[in-house]
Amino acid sequence: MNRIPHRPLALDSLRSFEAAARRLSFSAAAEELHLTQPAISRQIKGLEDALGAQLFHRATRKVELTLAGQTLLRTVQPALARLDACVRQIRMTRSRALVSVATFPSFASLWLMPRLPDFERAHPDADLRIAASDRLVEVEDVELDVALRHCRADRVPAGAVRLFGEVLTPVVSAGLADAVARGHAPRLSCPADLTEHTLLEMDDGHSPSTLLSWPSWLAGCGLAQLTPRRWISVNYTHQQVQAALAGQGVALARLAMVHDALARGDLIEPFGTAGRRWAEPCYWLVPLVPPLRSGVAAAPRPEVRAFTEWVLAQAALTRLAIGDVADPEVDAHVD
């Protein structure tokens, strides 16, 4: 019986394979990696010999992946990406203090970014990298330090800390509110009056967003059949808020993200606090797992700890502003 060898594969060969598989060209891979085309060919041939499988179908002017090559590429690409991310992280932490934060675009635009000058004044030597994306990051992502998420309590990983809850409230621009008060726009004194106005809706295609939508809010007011004058749908909450600020209609805003604009008078709640409705999702801080040292998770770096403490302090101010009296310690550690 033949024994399957367990020799590790050379990293250089794997990089050459990944580049050639991605570009479907040995010459293009050689140019990308600053090697010669014969060197790429030798490394890939050595990799095929080590695996005992052909990775490419070779033709005169092109190459194509075999089934074995496709299988190997699916593992090699993300593995190399994570390795490169780890190397970048180590290099950056040896030069300047850096905190890498993952969050979603609207939270970054409406809540995090306006508050960052306060952190920067207190920590002038700490650099920040904000990765705003709808993609849900993994808690083991070595390139990131902290994630700020928006979801139900049963969807967050262990160790997540509740920042504040979700309150929905209709808002309009100060200009539109003034036009209503002067009789230059249809009245807006009760939810039934929305039938004469444009409703700004956030529709990102995700099922949880339906709980934060106008139909859900209207149903809670007993107006499930209400039809507005017009709908305007956008993909992100910050677009919805921008449209409201421009006087384009009535937005169903997330109070935590607009209470500063309400305090400045840029936005107005036409129905006052009576129009506010609590929703199930909450905002969370998720400390991402530091690299292991001798099997034990490393302590957060000083700049990461400082940023985490700052976010929690800012969240406490937001809870006070939106009337969130829930004790964050109750949801501090979700099992």
| pLDDT, tens only, 87-127 | 766 666 555 678 989 999 999 999 999 999 999 999 988 88
Task: Could you list the beta-strand ranges (E) of the chain.
Answer: 56-58, 63-65, 97-103, 126-132, 146-151, 161-173, 198-202, 230-234, 250-254, 267-268, 277-287, 292-293, 296-297
At 195, give phi and psi (nearest 5°). -60, -20
Two tokens, residue 82: 């994570």
Q: Tell me: the pLDDT tens digits for 208-257?
A: 456 788 999 999 999 999 999 999 999 889 999 999 999 999 999 999 99
Two tokens, residue 289: 């797992």
pLDDT of residue 6: 60
Q: Report, as an integer, the average pLDDT of 328-334.
A: 43
CA distance 43 to 192: 71
Q: What percent of the chain has pLDDT over 70?
A: 84
| Higher local confidence (pLDDT), 4 or 16 | 16
pLDDT of residue 335: 35
Two tokens, residue 177: 């509110």
CA gyration radius for the chain? 26
Provide the b/e sequence for 61-88 (b: ≥16 CB within 10 Å).
eebebeeebeebbeebeeebeeeeeeee
Average pLDDT over the chain reads 85
pLDDT of residue 326: 66
pLDDT of residue 181: 94
Q: Tell me: the pLDDT tens digits for 129-177?
A: 898 877 665 545 567 889 999 988 888 888 899 999 999 999 999 999 9
Residue 62 has pLDDT above 50, yes or no: yes
| Range with the largest mean pLDDT of 108-112, 286-290, 331-335 | 108-112
Element (H, E) at 220: helix 214-220
pLDDT of residue 58: 87
pLDDT of residue 239: 93
pLDDT of residue 311: 97
Q: Are 201 and 169 in contact (CB under 8 A)?
A: no
| Domains of the chain with bracketed CATH | 11-91 (1.10.10.10), 96-335 (3.40.190.290)
CA distance 221 to 277: 10
Task: Could you list the beta-strand ranges (E) of 255-312.
Answer: 267-268, 277-287, 292-293, 296-297
Two tokens, residue 108: 């970054």
| Higher local confidence (pLDDT), 292 or 147 | 147
Q: Tell me: the pLDDT tens digits for 63-97?
A: 899 999 999 999 998 888 888 777 766 666 555 67
